[in-house]
Structure 1
């Protein structure tokens, strides 16, 4: 790869439409990438499961496959010799402006994981970002320190050292890949906020990995979800930012958060129609 930051796209072979849409988007925005064949948890034999999963641990097959897919990606990333890599799942759509970051690279990173997009929660509760700790990626994107590792491995950058350490503790599998509180070592997290570095396409609601699916027409305000203003408006109407700020202040007073300008992460990470098929994208992607 000629890019300073290599891109790895995780996709299951049986999710043909998702793979096609994801590769089309990456080619359309001019991002070089390597396709990683995802591990299909439902296809793992009992012998394989016994070999990779810790005794007494019960996890959905899809989550095991997801875990192994990301571990496989780290192995490929380390072969490049590059200091940073971008991992994207096939429902993620990086912002076209982020390609400049991929081409130029990043210097003096003070994080192990940097999320282009993520959930606002984790297994311990709400995740906050410190608005007073911007890491300037370029003229468009800023990454902020997080209070913990969030759910969601849709699109994130990882450092070479973080990937190496993760591989050292990869097996046996004892928890999902994004339950960082169970990691046997400290991890530094940042996330890109306002604007995000990527969005999730509505294909996120039909998961081939976990088997979870929700018809899009059943989601409230489906048409409005095509606008980024919907995200900000819904959070404002729910007083999400104010409530998050108050909760963070309480956690600081209790000593559960270090001092900082803690803010709530946006709740929405799916944008309908983002990275959708188009004649121009099809032409750029080729067959």
Structure 2
């Protein structure tokens, strides 16, 4: 199977790139850098092409950094399609590799369960697991898990070609931060899992710089929209998860 490792990194974050390069080289993992879209450089016309606050059902106006982060991941998804890859491992630059990282990445192609998106890290680790498969990949025991609620953050994940197609199609218009949007996986018919124990560690002292442009505290907010969207999410997530578990259990 054809695959690549992509690292999303801002041009101004040279120190982050150096740290990641050292870690990947030590682990023997070749990677391709994708220059992240910088929210600082987004024009209002570029923002309007993908995002209109008044059309969004999300309770908070997106910052330029949040929009740029989403658009940067779209670049990676498009490369999967353009290069006809079976899948790509996509990292942001706030991660570190573990001793299990190379084996986990090399063994992804051996997963028999149909999948679109697999999360390789979570911080903090707190999401409850609704379902899990036990897998032995390269003599290492992993679990392919289905979450009760998909964790936040997009620092480390694997995206298949089918997943990239779905994500690109459903992000022509953006209404939520990318990690929140992934929690609405049923809107995209996205087969989303996690691989545990996670083979990637999150550098706690660092946070990805990709989505930091723009002040979140100054963003427009709607308290009413926040309440209604939360209630709607809980109902829809429960219904979709019930159907997903039924399919996974073969009943």
Same fold at TM > 0.5: yes
Q: Deviations over 1:99-137 (max 9, x none)?
A: 13434542323322111102468xxxx732246532444
CA distance in 1, matches of 2:67, 2:145: 30
Asked if the contact 1:120/1:128 (under 8 Å) is kept, the reply is no
CA distance in 2, matches of 1:10, 1:192: 21
Match status 1:204 vs 2:201? no
Aligned to 2:6: 8
Aligned to 1:189: 192
Structure 1 window deviating more from structure 2 (143-152 vs 71-80): it is 143-152
Q: Deviations over 1:208-230 (max 9, x none)?
A: 53159xxxxxxxxxxxxxxxxxx
Post-superposition shift, 1:87?
Answer: 0.5
Aligned residues: CA RMSD: 2.9
Asked if the contact 1:11/1:38 (under 8 Å) is kept, the reply is yes
Q: Taking structure 2 as the reference length, what is the TM-score of the superposition? A: 0.73
Aligned to 1:151: 152
CA distance in 2, matches of 1:203, 1:17: 14
Match status 1:128 vs 2:128? yes
* Partner secondary structure for residue 114 of structure 2: coil
Q: Which runs of 5+ in 2 are unaligned?
A: 215-237, 246-251
Aligned to 1:74: 77
Structure 1 window deviating more from structure 2 (134-143 vs 17-26): it is 134-143
* Partner secondary structure for residue 144 of structure 1: strand
Q: Taking structure 1 as the reference length, what is the TM-score of the superposition? A: 0.65
* Partner secondary structure for residue 157 of structure 1: strand
Asked if the contact 1:5/1:102 (under 8 Å) is kept, the reply is no
Specify whether residues 164 and 59 from structure 1 end up closer, same or farther in structure 2 by C-alpha distance, changes over 3 A only: same
Specify whether residues 35 and 203 from structure 1 end up closer, same or farther in structure 2 by C-alpha distance, changes over 3 A only: farther
Of the two, which has the highest radius of gyration? 1
Match status 1:98 vs 2:101? yes
Q: Deviations over 1:236-264 (max 9, x none)?
A: xxxxxxxxxxxxxxxxxx9896498xxxx
Post-superposition shift, 1:175?
Answer: 0.9
